[in-house]
Amino acid sequence: MKTLGIDEAGRGPVCGPLVMCGYLVDEQKLPQLKELGVRDSKMLTAEKREKMTPLLKEVADDYLVLKVTAREIDKLRDESNLNKIEIERMQHMINLLKPDKVIIDSPEVNTIAFSRKVMARVGNKQVRIVSENFADKNHLEVGAASIIAKVERDASIKKLHKQHGFFGSGYSHDEITIAFLKDWIKRNKEFPDFVRKSWFTAQWIKEEKEQLTIKKFL
Protein backbone atom coordinates (compact mmCIF):
# COMPACT_ATOMS: atom_id res chain seq x y z
CA MET A 1 0.00 0.00 0.00
CA LYS A 2 1.30 3.44 -0.95
CA THR A 3 0.66 6.30 1.44
CA LEU A 4 0.90 9.99 0.65
CA GLY A 5 1.98 12.25 3.50
CA ILE A 6 1.17 15.94 3.04
CA ASP A 7 2.55 18.87 5.02
CA GLU A 8 3.58 22.48 4.51
CA ALA A 9 6.14 25.05 5.59
CA GLY A 10 5.63 28.80 5.69
CA ARG A 11 1.91 28.97 6.33
CA GLY A 12 2.06 31.90 8.75
CA PRO A 13 4.97 34.21 7.83
CA VAL A 14 4.54 37.65 6.29
CA CYS A 15 7.46 37.07 3.90
CA GLY A 16 8.19 34.35 1.40
CA PRO A 17 6.26 31.48 -0.16
CA LEU A 18 4.05 28.80 1.29
CA VAL A 19 5.67 25.47 0.38
CA MET A 20 3.70 22.21 0.33
CA CYS A 21 5.07 18.71 -0.10
CA GLY A 22 3.35 15.46 -0.93
CA TYR A 23 5.54 12.46 -0.05
CA LEU A 24 4.49 9.11 -1.55
CA VAL A 25 5.99 5.96 -0.05
CA ASP A 26 5.21 2.27 0.14
CA GLU A 27 4.35 1.30 3.72
CA GLN A 28 7.03 -1.42 3.59
CA LYS A 29 9.64 1.36 3.41
CA LEU A 30 8.52 3.11 6.60
CA PRO A 31 11.24 1.37 8.68
CA GLN A 32 13.80 3.07 6.40
CA LEU A 33 12.35 6.47 7.27
CA LYS A 34 12.51 5.59 10.95
CA GLU A 35 16.12 4.52 10.56
CA LEU A 36 16.95 7.86 8.92
CA GLY A 37 15.59 9.63 11.99
CA VAL A 38 12.54 11.21 10.36
CA ARG A 39 10.40 13.35 12.64
CA ASP A 40 8.62 16.70 12.65
CA SER A 41 10.95 19.10 10.79
CA LYS A 42 10.80 21.59 13.68
CA MET A 43 12.54 19.02 15.89
CA LEU A 44 15.58 18.83 13.57
CA THR A 45 18.36 21.32 12.92
CA ALA A 46 18.60 22.99 9.51
CA GLU A 47 21.82 21.05 8.85
CA LYS A 48 20.15 17.73 9.69
CA ARG A 49 17.16 18.51 7.45
CA GLU A 50 19.40 19.38 4.51
CA LYS A 51 21.45 16.19 4.88
CA MET A 52 18.33 14.07 5.22
CA THR A 53 16.40 15.47 2.24
CA PRO A 54 18.29 13.71 -0.61
CA LEU A 55 18.04 10.43 1.33
CA LEU A 56 14.30 10.90 1.76
CA LYS A 57 13.90 11.51 -1.96
CA GLU A 58 15.73 8.25 -2.68
CA VAL A 59 13.39 6.26 -0.42
CA ALA A 60 10.23 7.89 -1.82
CA ASP A 61 8.20 6.24 -4.57
CA ASP A 62 7.43 9.79 -5.67
CA TYR A 63 7.10 13.26 -4.23
CA LEU A 64 5.76 16.64 -5.26
CA VAL A 65 6.67 20.12 -4.04
CA LEU A 66 4.31 23.03 -4.72
CA LYS A 67 5.14 26.65 -3.96
CA VAL A 68 2.59 29.44 -3.56
CA THR A 69 4.31 32.83 -3.77
CA ALA A 70 3.37 35.78 -1.57
CA ARG A 71 1.97 37.50 -4.65
CA GLU A 72 -0.23 34.48 -5.48
CA ILE A 73 -1.45 34.29 -1.87
CA ASP A 74 -2.46 37.96 -1.90
CA LYS A 75 -4.28 37.51 -5.21
CA LEU A 76 -6.06 34.30 -4.18
CA ARG A 77 -7.11 35.69 -0.80
CA ASP A 78 -9.36 38.18 -2.59
CA GLU A 79 -11.65 35.28 -3.38
CA SER A 80 -10.54 32.55 -0.99
CA ASN A 81 -8.69 31.85 2.27
CA LEU A 82 -5.46 30.04 3.03
CA ASN A 83 -7.18 26.78 3.98
CA LYS A 84 -8.98 26.62 0.63
CA ILE A 85 -5.76 27.44 -1.20
CA GLU A 86 -4.07 24.52 0.56
CA ILE A 87 -6.99 22.17 -0.06
CA GLU A 88 -6.89 22.80 -3.81
CA ARG A 89 -3.21 21.92 -3.92
CA MET A 90 -3.72 18.84 -1.76
CA GLN A 91 -6.38 17.65 -4.21
CA HIS A 92 -3.96 18.22 -7.09
CA MET A 93 -1.27 16.16 -5.30
CA ILE A 94 -3.66 13.28 -4.60
CA ASN A 95 -5.04 13.19 -8.16
CA LEU A 96 -1.54 13.30 -9.64
CA LEU A 97 0.28 10.83 -7.34
CA LYS A 98 -2.66 8.39 -6.98
CA PRO A 99 -2.00 7.00 -3.46
CA ASP A 100 -3.99 4.27 -1.70
CA LYS A 101 -4.06 6.32 1.49
CA VAL A 102 -3.43 9.96 2.39
CA ILE A 103 -2.33 11.38 5.74
CA ILE A 104 -2.56 15.16 6.10
CA ASP A 105 -1.28 17.51 8.77
CA SER A 106 -4.60 19.33 9.12
CA PRO A 107 -4.67 23.13 9.54
CA GLU A 108 -8.20 22.86 10.93
CA VAL A 109 -9.30 21.56 14.35
CA ASN A 110 -12.25 19.64 12.89
CA THR A 111 -10.16 17.02 11.11
CA ILE A 112 -13.10 14.92 9.91
CA ALA A 113 -14.67 17.91 8.18
CA PHE A 114 -11.31 18.83 6.68
CA SER A 115 -10.93 15.31 5.22
CA ARG A 116 -14.35 15.68 3.58
CA LYS A 117 -13.35 19.03 2.03
CA VAL A 118 -10.22 17.48 0.53
CA MET A 119 -12.11 14.42 -0.75
CA ALA A 120 -14.67 16.63 -2.56
CA ARG A 121 -12.52 16.99 -5.68
CA VAL A 122 -10.45 13.82 -5.51
CA GLY A 123 -11.02 11.58 -8.51
CA ASN A 124 -10.51 8.24 -6.75
CA LYS A 125 -13.31 7.96 -4.18
CA GLN A 126 -11.77 4.75 -2.82
CA VAL A 127 -8.71 6.51 -1.44
CA ARG A 128 -8.68 6.82 2.34
CA ILE A 129 -7.94 10.30 3.64
CA VAL A 130 -6.85 10.79 7.24
CA SER A 131 -6.44 14.33 8.59
CA GLU A 132 -4.78 14.88 11.95
CA ASN A 133 -3.50 17.83 13.94
CA PHE A 134 0.27 17.41 14.43
CA ALA A 135 0.38 14.50 11.98
CA ASP A 136 4.02 15.38 11.26
CA LYS A 137 4.87 14.18 14.79
CA ASN A 138 2.92 10.93 14.57
CA HIS A 139 3.41 9.71 10.99
CA LEU A 140 6.76 9.18 9.28
CA GLU A 141 5.47 9.94 5.78
CA VAL A 142 4.10 13.28 6.96
CA GLY A 143 7.33 13.99 8.84
CA ALA A 144 9.25 13.36 5.60
CA ALA A 145 6.95 15.77 3.75
CA SER A 146 7.47 18.39 6.45
CA ILE A 147 11.27 18.10 6.18
CA ILE A 148 11.34 18.48 2.39
CA ALA A 149 8.88 21.41 2.52
CA LYS A 150 10.96 23.17 5.17
CA VAL A 151 14.22 22.70 3.24
CA GLU A 152 12.59 24.04 0.06
CA ARG A 153 11.21 27.08 1.89
CA ASP A 154 14.56 27.79 3.57
CA ALA A 155 16.23 27.68 0.14
CA SER A 156 13.68 30.16 -1.20
CA ILE A 157 14.28 32.49 1.76
CA LYS A 158 18.06 32.36 1.27
CA LYS A 159 17.58 33.29 -2.39
CA LEU A 160 15.39 36.25 -1.39
CA HIS A 161 18.03 37.35 1.14
CA LYS A 162 20.62 37.50 -1.64
CA GLN A 163 18.29 39.53 -3.83
CA HIS A 164 16.85 41.97 -1.28
CA GLY A 165 19.05 41.87 1.82
CA PHE A 166 18.74 39.88 5.03
CA PHE A 167 15.24 40.09 6.54
CA GLY A 168 15.37 37.24 9.05
CA SER A 169 12.93 34.34 9.04
CA GLY A 170 10.04 36.28 7.54
CA TYR A 171 7.78 35.62 10.54
CA SER A 172 5.93 38.41 12.32
CA HIS A 173 7.47 37.53 15.69
CA ASP A 174 10.97 38.05 14.25
CA GLU A 175 12.27 41.50 15.24
CA ILE A 176 14.69 41.50 12.29
CA THR A 177 11.80 40.92 9.88
CA ILE A 178 9.72 43.73 11.39
CA ALA A 179 12.67 46.14 11.35
CA PHE A 180 13.37 45.26 7.69
CA LEU A 181 9.73 45.84 6.68
CA LYS A 182 9.53 49.16 8.54
CA ASP A 183 12.74 50.34 6.90
CA TRP A 184 11.58 49.19 3.46
CA ILE A 185 8.22 50.96 3.65
CA LYS A 186 9.94 54.06 4.99
CA ARG A 187 12.02 54.23 1.81
CA ASN A 188 9.44 52.90 -0.66
CA LYS A 189 5.74 53.34 -1.38
CA GLU A 190 4.99 49.62 -1.57
CA PHE A 191 6.35 46.35 -0.20
CA PRO A 192 8.25 44.04 -2.58
CA ASP A 193 6.53 41.04 -4.16
CA PHE A 194 7.86 38.56 -1.60
CA VAL A 195 5.87 40.24 1.19
CA ARG A 196 2.28 39.09 1.81
CA LYS A 197 0.58 42.47 1.61
CA SER A 198 -2.75 41.01 2.71
CA TRP A 199 -1.24 39.95 6.06
CA PHE A 200 -2.17 42.05 9.10
CA THR A 201 1.51 42.69 9.90
CA ALA A 202 2.19 44.28 6.49
CA GLN A 203 -1.01 46.33 6.60
CA TRP A 204 -0.26 47.55 10.13
CA ILE A 205 3.27 48.67 9.20
CA LYS A 206 2.03 50.47 6.10
CA GLU A 207 -0.79 52.19 7.98
CA GLU A 208 1.66 53.28 10.68
CA LYS A 209 3.84 54.89 8.02
CA GLU A 210 0.86 56.65 6.43
CA GLN A 211 -0.26 58.02 9.79
CA LEU A 212 3.23 59.39 10.49
CA THR A 213 3.27 61.00 7.03
CA ILE A 214 -0.09 62.69 7.68
CA LYS A 215 1.09 64.03 11.05
CA LYS A 216 4.05 65.74 9.36
CA PHE A 217 1.65 67.88 7.36
CA LEU A 218 -0.64 68.78 10.28
In tens, the pLDDT along 199-217 reads 999 999 988 866 655 455 4
Question: Which pTM was predicted?
Answer: 0.92
pLDDT digits over 116-138, tens only?
999 999 999 999 999 999 999 99
The predicted-structure confidence for 59-80, as pLDDT tens digits, reads as follows 999 999 999 999 999 998 877 7
pLDDT tens-place string over residues 7-39: 999 999 999 999 999 999 999 999 999 999 998
- Compute the chain's Rg from CA coordinates: 19
What letter would DSSP give residue 122? Answer: -
Instruction: Give residues with Cβ within 8 angstroms of 88, minimum separation 6.
Output: 121
